[in-house]
């Protein structure tokens, strides 16, 4: 057993609470994954990606791998945003080299087949993994639980796969908004319940990934991105008033402004297109921010990467900035570049 610090004394959570720290805490989105040889070995042992997600021992192992290797300030549960639609009864598989494939929902009538009451039976191994990870983490490392935000999860449920224009979900938004509201309400309920169980099992922070927040016009952005995230946070806070929540409305552009106030998110995760000076003046002045190195720069390495890291540090000198990427780490990232990044960050003083 470890002797974990109270959450409020862990550097990552201190930053989320607005405290000044000598250096920015750091973790990387998708920090467990294919760029690590030890991940590839464990995944091969599991058989498939989904077998890995539902095996509490192996999911714990891959969550801990980047912590052992790099000593990040936070671990993120190894799972996927698409486990929830699968637990609701939608067929899901991961095609090698193609990513996720779901049996797309084509009509409002098919929404009736989703079974919110059944999710925990399927997701139990995920909660078991959370408990095991929590017990095994170093004392000062925080544990992040997560879910997809309803809009992003809905884009996969309706399209059946990843893509670039989210056409199916947008056709629902523009053609039958009441039906999409119905799906949103169902996803809000099941996401609250899913995250509640992650928190009960030991997650100290939750992050909501809204990967496709950037594809909607203003009116639909308010209805399908802001409102569902606000409802999830409100309902979780009724039970956990001090719960830190990080929102990642990727690609939201100017919509990042006001997003934390409108949803109640504690902190915003910035994608790599968000301009640093604007983020400092409009966002970070009010809420902690996390981000936002372009993951492709971490692949490139060298002086360009080092300068980009320095620029980020210079903009957020002072307090409550969490260093991260502006999207998930890429499989072709050399692990040595992560080591270089960490040497730079750990040598960095945040004093002005």
Of 189, 168, 181, 187, residue with least CA distance to 220: 181
Active site residue 296: no
Q: How far is the CB of 98 from ligand 1CP (least distance, A)?
A: 8
- The region of 77-85, 110-118, 225-233, 285-293 touching ligand 1CP under the rule CB under 6 A is 77-85
In the bound state with ligand 1CP, the residue whose beta carbon lies nearer, of 271 and 305, is: 271
Active site residue 156: yes
- Residue of 17, 49, 193, 278 interacting with ligand 1CP (CB under 6 A): 49
In the bound state with ligand 1CP, the residue whose beta carbon lies nearer, of 34 and 223, is: 34
Q: Out of 23, 80, 115, 161, which one is annotated catalytic? A: 80
Note the maximum CA span of the chain: 59
Backbone angles phi, psi at 290, to 5 degrees: -125, 135
Q: How far is the CB of 82 from ligand 1CP (least distance, A)?
A: 6
Q: Does residue 43 interact with ligand 1CP by CB under 6 A?
A: yes
Cα separation, 26 vs 325, in Å, equals: 9
Q: Does residue 151 interact with ligand 1CP by CB under 6 A?
A: no
Active site residue 30: yes
Q: Find the residue with minimal CB distance to ligand 1CP.
A: 162
- Helix crossing, 119-136 with 177-201: angle to 10°? 40
List residues bridging with 209 in a β-sheet: 148, 248
- The region of 72-80, 123-131, 197-205, 306-314 touching ligand 1CP under the rule CB under 6 A is 72-80
Contact 39, 33 (CB under 8 A): yes
In the bound state with ligand 1CP, the residue whose beta carbon lies nearer, of 147 and 260, is: 147
Q: Does residue 129 interact with ligand 1CP by CB under 6 A?
A: no
- Say which DSSP state 256 is in: G
Cα separation, 62 vs 253, in Å, equals: 33
Q: Does residue 31 interact with ligand 1CP by CB under 6 A?
A: yes
Binding-site size, ligand 1CP (CB under 6 A): 21
Q: How far is the CB of 319 from ligand 1CP (least distance, A)?
A: 25
- Residue of 99, 217, 318, 334 interacting with ligand 1CP (CB under 6 A): 99
Backbone angles phi, psi at 203, to 5 degrees: -65, 135
Active site residue 280: no
In the bound state with ligand 1CP, the residue whose beta carbon lies nearer, of 219 and 339, is: 339
Contact 137, 64 (CB under 8 A): yes
Active site residue 197: no
Q: Check whether the bond before 126 is cis (ω within 30° of 0).
A: no
Q: Which residues lie below 8 Å from residue 56, measured CB to CB, with a gap of 6+?
A: 125, 126, 128, 129, 132
């Amino acid at each position: 057993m470890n002797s974990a610090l109270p959450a409020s004394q862990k550097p990552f959570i201190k930053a989320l609470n607005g405290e000044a720290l000598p250096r920015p805490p750091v973790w990387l989105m998708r920090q467990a994954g294919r760029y690590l040889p030890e991940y590839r070995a464990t995944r091969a042992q599991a058989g498939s990606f989904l077998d890995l997600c539902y095996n509490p021992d192996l999911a714990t192992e891959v969550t801990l791998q980047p912590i052992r290797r790099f000593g990040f300030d936070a671990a993120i549960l190894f799972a996927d945003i698409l486990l929830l639609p699968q637990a609701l009864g939608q067929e899901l598989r991961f095609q090698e080299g193609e990513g996720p494939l779901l049996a797309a929902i084509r009509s409002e009538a098919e929404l009736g087949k989703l079974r919110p009451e059944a999710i925990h039976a399927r997701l139990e191994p995920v909660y078991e993994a959370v408990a095991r990870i929590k017990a095994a983490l170093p004392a000062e490392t925080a544990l992040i639980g997560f879910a997809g935000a309803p809009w992003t999860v809905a884009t996969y449920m309706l399209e059946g796969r990843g893509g670039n224009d989210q056409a199916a979900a947008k056709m629902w938004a523009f053609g039958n908004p009441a039906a999409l509201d119905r799906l949103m309400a169902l996803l809000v309920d099941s996401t609250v319940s899913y995250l509640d169980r992650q928190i009960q099992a030991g997650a100290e922070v939750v992050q909501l990934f809204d990967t496709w927040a950037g594809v909607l016009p203003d009116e639909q952005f308010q209805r399908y991105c802001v409102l569902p995230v606000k409802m999830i946070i409100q309902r979780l806070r009724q039970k956990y008033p001090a719960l830190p929540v990080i929102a990642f409305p990727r690609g939201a552009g100017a919509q990042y402004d006001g997003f934390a106030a409108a949803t109640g998110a504690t902190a915003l995760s910035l994608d790599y297109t968000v301009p640093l000076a604007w983020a400092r003046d409009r966002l970070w002045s009010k809420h902690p921010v996390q981000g936002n190195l372009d993951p492709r720069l971490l692949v490139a390495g060298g002086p360009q990467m080092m300068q980009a890291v320095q620029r980020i540090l210079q903009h957020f000198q002072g307090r409550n900035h969490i260093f991260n990427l502006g999207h998930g780490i890429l499989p072709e990232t050399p692990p040595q570049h992560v080591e270089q990044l960490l040497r730079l960050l750990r040598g960095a003083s945040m004093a002005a």
